[in-house]
Amino acid sequence: MAREIKNTITDTDYKVFEYITDDPTGWTFGAIDNRLQFAKKEILTAIQSHCNDNSIALAVGEDAQILQAFELDVVKTVVEMNAEASSGAAVKE
């Protein structure tokens, strides 16, 4: 499954974008991709360590490993972490 994320900015904001890049759309896609790659590496490192430390079979492929990390609560969504924080549970920052 794929999801589309849209954002609308004003003409003035677009002009500001043109001040920093000749390709605002490309810059935006690059920024998103860079942040996702960084987070993926964090998740993959966490699930690999968890599986090795606990003698658990590691799922095959990056997508499967990322899903496994969430299924085993090795990592959590921000919504889940915020809910734990508001209930008084410890949260990783």
**Residue 38, in any domain of the structure:** yes
Q: Is residue 74 part of a domain?
A: yes
Q: What is the sign of the dihedral through the CA atoms of 60, 66, 68 and 74? A: positive
Is the CB of residue 65 less than 8 Å from the CB of residue 47? yes
pLDDT for 73 equals 96
Q: What is the pLDDT along the chain (93 residues), one digit of tens a residue?
A: 899 999 999 999 999 999 999 999 999 999 999 999 999 999 999 999 999 999 999 999 999 999 999 999 999 999 999 999 988 755 554
Specify if 35 maps to a domain. yes
Instruction: Look up residue 14 and give its two tokens.
Output: 């677009």
d(CA 25, CA 17): 9
61-83 pLDDT, tens digit each? 999 999 999 999 999 999 999 99
34 occurs within a structural domain: yes
Domain for residue 29, yes or no? yes
pLDDT at position 89 is: 59
Domain that residue 65 falls in: 11-86
Confidence (pLDDT) at 92: 53
What's the number of domains the chain is made of?
Answer: 1
